[in-house]
Amino acid sequence: MKISRTLPAMIALACATMMSANAQDMAPQQPVQADSAFVNPDWANSAWYMGAGVGRTRAKIYNSDLARRMSAAGLPLTGYNVDNKDVGYKLFVGKQINKYLAVELGYFDLGEYSFEALTTANRSLRGETDYRGVNLDLVGMLPLTERFSLLGRAGVQYAKARTDFTGNALNAVTNPNPPTEGRRHAKLGLGAEYKLTEALALRAEVERYRVTDAVQNSGNIHMASLSLTYKFGRPAKVAYVAPAAPVAAPVQEAPVAAPTPPAPEPVPTSEKVSIAAEALFDFDKSIVKPEGKAALDEFMAKLQGMNTEVMIAVGHTDSVGTNAYNDKLSMRRADAVKAYMVSKGLDPARLYTEGKGETQPVADNATAEGRAKNRRVTIEVVGTRTTQR
């Protein structure tokens, strides 16, 4: 098999460019807000991207026309051997239209295929054909999770076939060295994509190319490939800023000979706090982070002097993922908050937990800012506190 030397070098260069551009994302970072791998999901829905792929190709060319030609030349077929597998490559650039659609322009090399037709009197005809071309596809994407999506593509491709014939039965073909044949055909594909980061993703696809060779034989070539894609223009990450430590109020001397005030009476009170999930947990996790423990410690400190009657911790999520998954995630996070507060001395009988999933948003889930507000845990406390009237 003859394999182009130029195209693999181009693909290697494209992959190196993507990996170099993504090095900043993969290198260790200073602490950022709650797993910053997906802090700007809306940006990715309108970004430009490039990619490169390599895979195994398999051709199925219909050679009934060749058999007819050889029979007409008085050379009926007695045997037929084919080599219909090779390695294919592709390079492409694309533009996300929205979360579900993208447009891609690409270049492909489907490899080289050969056949040997045997006839009577020890005569044979051997042919070799390679296919290269360009394509324009509309790519549909169905996100199943924040990282994993299914892909489907449909488009048009223009493939050029270059064929050479050898052997001692060349009279079966009109021209042993026919000119390059270019034809426009449809192109289809199915696959899946996994986002390694917001910018870098891995694709696995199966595509079908309709082709025509230089002697007008038609058929299909299928390519199963793995590709890397890289999206450009990722916004800068937002660093996590820890809450400032409370500043102690200046100590004032008690007034001399001030009358002792009457003892304050307990009054009913209700206090409620909402803590962003990013401050408590890593992405898609329910283990309280050190920053989250600090926030809960601060909240429990504010309850000093309050006779609590009941406390309720309620977990909430955004709309990414299925309803069933989000319900379970919100409940696990509420239970994790309770477990930590109980470990700090809270009576477990006084704290109840609920998981509301994505059913009670406080902001629009269509934006990254809105989804961040919806990923939260609220804690409401009802009891009595001694306050000065």
Domain residues of the chain, as ranges?
6-231, 266-386
Arithmetic mean of pLDDT, 168-187: 72
pLDDT of 26 > 80? The answer is no
Q: Which pLDDT belongs to residue 371?
A: 83
Q: Which pLDDT belongs to residue 93?
A: 97
Residue indicated by tokens 């509420």: 334
Q: Which pLDDT belongs to residue 334?
A: 87
Q: Phi/psi zone of residue 225: left (φ > 0), alpha (ψ -120 to 50 degrees), beta? A: beta
Q: What is the CATH number assigned to the segment(s) 266-386?
A: 3.30.1330.60
264-283 tens-digit pLDDT = 666 666 666 667 767 777 66
Q: Which pLDDT belongs to residue 35?
A: 40
201-223 tens-digit pLDDT = 999 999 999 988 766 777 889 99
pLDDT of 152 > 90? The answer is yes
CATH of 6-231, one of 3.40.50.11540, 2.70.70.10, 2.40.160.20, 3.50.50.60: 2.40.160.20
Average pLDDT, rounded, for the chain: 78
pTM above 0.75, yes or no: no
Tokens standing for residue 94: 């694309």
Arithmetic mean of pLDDT, 354-381: 86
